[in-house]
Amino acid sequence: MAPPDLSSLGHAGNILLSLAIGFTFGFILERAGFGDARKLAAQFYFYDQAVLKVMFTAIIVAMLLLFTTVQLGWLDFERVWVNPTYIWPGIIGGVLLGIGFILGGYCPGTSVVATATLKVDGLFFLLGCFLGIFAFGPTVPLFHAFWERAGYLGRLTIPEWLGLSNGVVVLLAVLMALTMFAGAEWLESHCGKKQPSQPISGDSHPPLRERLSGKHFAAAALLLLASGLAICTHLVPDPAEVRLRRQAEQEIASRQRHIEPPELLDLMHNNQITLLLFDVRDEADYNLFHLVDAKRISRDQFQKTKWAKGLPADAIKVVMSNGEEAANTAAVELIARGVRNVYILAGGINHWLDVYGQGIGKPLHSTHADALRYEFPAALGANYPAADPDRWSTPQLPFTPKVHFEKPIIKISGGCGG
């Protein structure tokens, strides 16, 4: 299903669309009673938890719709702007906002709603917001270093912070919301009796919980929970994994990650790096012949996120199979799980033997692209000379370097600076 195309709206159309969304948002806030400071402040005294329930419902519904559009292919989550995380400025800013909220009875958004309905206190609060905005510019040099750098973590999402998939975090957020809704109902039932008897302006309707039966709430809770479970069970994929997988497939298709045997040989004799060799062939071919220090890993192992994330981040990882088919698939799985520095042995073990396996065995003919093309007299594994060729006695073959080192490599020269 193709996403709706909004590119034809033009600049004026985008402005009108933004105004329509803003007006609708303000209208809903006002109808929820959020244009009255007493209703907003009541949440801090536990009289009325409408603010928590309405806003958290909006967050949860938006989250579920967001990841549903990802599943439909309408949205690339990695292109969605996420505010950079600044730990300490965020904490201090949140405390100041909370103090202003409880003292003034409004947040910036609800003060606009109150002003639109001609409430004088909302107007004064909004003027205070503008005063703070105008005072920020001249005073920012006094705290710019703290504001710009303290606790900076960049684009950090909760799944990345917890090391969990987006689906699991979505389900946990839904469960947390349902728990908070139940807690809010309990607070209102125990603290509502202390609520001031003066009615709140514009709040003539009975509370939502009195107008809807428990069946409605149970149905809504089950719907939210089912949606969270659907996303958690990968009916909606992890957006970060989708992006990385797509990027990996493109790089592998353009052979940006395929390294030739001479480059791998250089890496095997480079004592300044950590090199991990992963052989994804079946056990029989691996036992016949494999490169020294190469570890046989089953293809299913690459799909285990916990194992993949446990690999050293700065290590160079080279995946190999008889040809390239299985190695390409395994490399995509690794990269999709956030593993860096992943490369593929170009041509696989067959090409390695073409270059360094002279006299090792008789070439075979096979129609399968990922079948072993050499016959070995015995299953000696890494005990064949070709498993670890002597770098100095082997002819130095030219190659185009593909490996990018995250740490600088010191070139070792001869004695006396030669």
Q: What is the pLDDT of residues 250-268, one digit of tens each?
A: 999 999 999 999 999 999 9
Pick the closest to residue 60 from 49, 48, 68 (CA basis): 68
**What's the token pair of residue 348?**
């696989």
Q: Are 404 and 390 in contact (CB under 8 A)?
A: no
Q: Tell me how far apart the alpha carbons of residues 103 and 171 are, in angstroms, rounded to a whole number.
A: 35
pLDDT at 51: 85
What mean pLDDT comes out for the span 273-298? 92
| Residue ranges with strand state E in 201-354 | 258-259, 275-279, 294-296, 316-320, 342-345
Q: Are 149 and 79 in contact (CB under 8 A)?
A: no
Pick the closest to residue 322 from 358, 292, 279, 359 (CA basis): 279
Pick the closest to residue 345 from 250, 276, 412, 406 (CA basis): 276
pLDDT at 414: 41
- What is the chain's Cα-based Rg? 31
Pick the closest to residue 365 from 350, 346, 382 (CA basis): 350
pLDDT at 357: 83
Q: Tell me how far apart the alpha carbons of residues 80 and 63 are, in angstroms, rounded to a whole number.
A: 13
pLDDT at 171: 81
Q: Are 164 and 309 in contact (CB under 8 A)?
A: no
DSSP three-state, residue 118: coil
| Residue ranges with strand state E in 146-264 | 152-154, 258-259
Q: Which domains does the chain have, with CATH numbers?
A: 13-238 (no CATH), 240-413 (3.40.250.10)
Q: Tell me how far apart the alpha carbons of residues 189 and 418 are, in angstroms, rounded to a whole number.
A: 84
H or E segment to which residue 330 belongs: helix 325-336
Average per-residue pLDDT in the chain?
79
On the question of pLDDT at 351 being above 70, the answer is: yes
Number of Cα atoms under 13 Å in the Cβ half of residue 7: 2
Q: Are 293 and 336 in contact (CB under 8 A)?
A: no
What mean pLDDT comes out for the span 219-241? 64
What mean pLDDT comes out for the span 72-98? 81
Q: Tell me how far apart the alpha carbons of residues 148 and 314 are, in angstroms, rounded to a whole number.
A: 28
Question: What pLDDT, in 10s, does the model give residues 297-350?
Answer: 886 677 666 777 788 888 999 999 999 999 999 999 888 888 889 999 999 999
Q: What is the pTM of this model?
A: 0.50
Q: How confident is the model at residue 418 (pLDDT cuts 50, 70, 90)?
A: very low
Residues contacting residue 354 through CB under 8 Å, at least 6 positions apart: 347
pLDDT at 268: 92
On the question of pLDDT at 413 being above 50, the answer is: no
Q: How confident is the model at residue 233 (pLDDT cuts 50, 70, 90)?
A: low
Q: Tell me how far apart the alpha carbons of residues 252 and 329 are, in angstroms, rounded to a whole number.
A: 10
